[in-house]
Structure 1
Amino acid sequence: MSWWMWVVLWTVLVLISGAVLAILLFRLWRQFSRMLHDLGDYGDSVTQRLDQATAEPAVTDHHPRRPDVYTPWREARKQYRSGTLERRTARSQRRSARRRAMGQPQKVSDLTR
């Protein structure tokens, strides 16, 4: 190969790598500008929510709720256990209905609940 062929080859390689680099930088710039735009929108929404939160409070219920912190532990345990039993029963009923719909045999424990 003659010397001018090497010059042409290297020139083409440099131009192609420059074009690829330019395309990558352009894509990076577009992503960065899109991110800044989204960040600005997020800042606007935060400002709007903050303004709504610090505005005049709405008329609230004048019957204060008894805080759950002072619920006696026996009552809290009773509420917890009754809620657990309700969830278990509902789950068992859903399981039985699903098995009935699919024609599968039922478990005895599902039928007793």
Structure 2
Amino acid sequence: MKLRDIAHSRTGDKGNISNISLIAYRDDDYELIKKIVTEEKVKEWFKDIVKGEVKRYELPNICALNFVMYDALGGGVTRSLSLDTHGKSLSSVLLDMDIETGLCKIE
């Protein structure tokens, strides 16, 4: 199953920092997402893009996680040579992550 099957996402940026919110469609899925979508998994998923730290913030009242990814935009919006200098497509990249709900692990 893809992460997009149980959640949606939004992306923002500030300088060379990108943040991705991951919002569960259902309360039960939030608990699952919280277990399997860790800082380490997100860092590994974006290993070719994110050169800095990944911090996760939990927002249980809205069933969301927010990942702040440092050194993630190729030097920042005005310096990056990337086609997507703001990193808006990163939310789609995260939602493409395969998850195994039975094993609670990300492939």
TM-score normalised by length of structure 2: 0.19
Question: Structure 1 or 2: larger helix share?
Answer: 1
TM-score normalised by length of structure 1: 0.18
Question: Structure 1 or 2: larger strand share?
Answer: 2
Larger radius of gyration: 1
